[in-house]
Amino acid sequence: MFIITSLSAVTVTIGTGTGTTSDLPIRAQSSYSYSQQIYTKSQINQPLGGYITSLSFYCGSYTSFNNSQSWTIYMANTSKTSFTSNSNWESFANLTEVFNGNVTFVSNGWMTINLTTPFYYDNVANLVIAVDENTSGNAGGARNFYAFT
């Protein structure tokens, strides 16, 4: 489950959060991870484009996210609707860095990341969000995030 905040002063929630994943937006049980997620225009479902100023992901319960807190987040408007393989991701050259720093996890709650660079979502294309987790070591096991279902 995912939230975009301040898209023209509107909060957009995508998904019901009834499923879980240990792989998106990060894979805490691995040293370092990188993911891309696509959110379609119809999922965002807003009449106008606007600047995205923060993101939120819903964390499940956990004991520790040690070694998983240093993130770089990128965004892009994209024509892609899905990835056909792990080599079909949005090109890094098309991505804009919107956050680089440490994140704070919330057990059984929303973790909100205020972007250092607001991103303009054009409401014509889909939105891709890439998360690069840059801390060595792992969190000692799978940590779940609630997912779009």
Write out the residue range of the structural domain in which residue 91 sits.
Answer: 2-147
Q: 38 to each of 26, 94, 107, 129, 141, how far by Cα in Å? A: 15, 14, 25, 7, 26
Residue type, 130: A
In the chain, the number of structural domains is 1
Judge if pTM exceeds 0.75. Answer: yes
Which position has the higher pLDDT, 36 or 7?
36
- Per-residue pLDDT tens over the stretch 16-63: 655 544 455 555 555 567 778 888 898 888 878 889 998 887 776 665
Q: Which two tokens stand for residue 2?
A: 């995912």
Neighbours of 72 (CB within 10 A): 16
